[in-house]
Amino acid sequence: MDKLSVHIKFKLVVEKLQKRLLLRRSKEGCDSNSTYVPEDVKEGHFAVIAECGEEQKRFVLPLSCLANPTFLKLLEQAEEEYGFDHEGAVTIPCRPSEIERILTHQCMPSESYWTKVDQL
């Protein structure tokens, strides 16, 4: 996949996620819980749940992971299977070990690019 295709897919996925978050806030209106974000989701990060059958794990990832082509493919699968029109973390249809492998090998392994959170 060439750089332009990756950039276009990245932009589309980010736009869909942004729309999802904006729609959620507008639906919630002035509800005091409408801006609640879990403490482990720091600025510049987002939460995902890797789910394969009964196996589930939640990850908090930096936005920079959205530039990873393999991760973008997983997000596209997530959109097809679950859609992005729901609250909370984005559910990704894959084994947690697949997220770990992608992030360890392709998102600059010298830095801590992901935080694994206990099983759900």
Residue-wise pLDDT tens digits, 72-111: 999 999 999 988 877 788 899 999 999 998 878 765 444 4
- Calculate the alpha carbon distances from 65 to 46, 84, 119 in Å: 10, 18, 21
Question: What is the distance between the alpha carbons of residues 72 and 21, in angstroms, rounded to a whole number?
Answer: 18
For tokens 């996925």, name the residue. Answer: 13
Q: Is 115 exposed, middle or buried (0-12, 13-18, 19+ CB in 10 A)?
A: middle
| Strand partners for 90 | 48
In this prediction the pTM is 0.62
> Which of the 8 DSSP states describes residue 64?
G
pLDDT at 58 over 60: yes
Residue 60 in tokens: 């908090």
Integer-rounded Cα Rg, in Å, for the chain is 14
Work out the pLDDT band at 26, boundaries 50, 70, 90: very low
Centroid of chain to Cα 23: 17
Q: Where are the beta strands (DSSP E) in 9-114?
A: 45-52, 55-62, 90-92
Give residue 107's pLDDT.
57
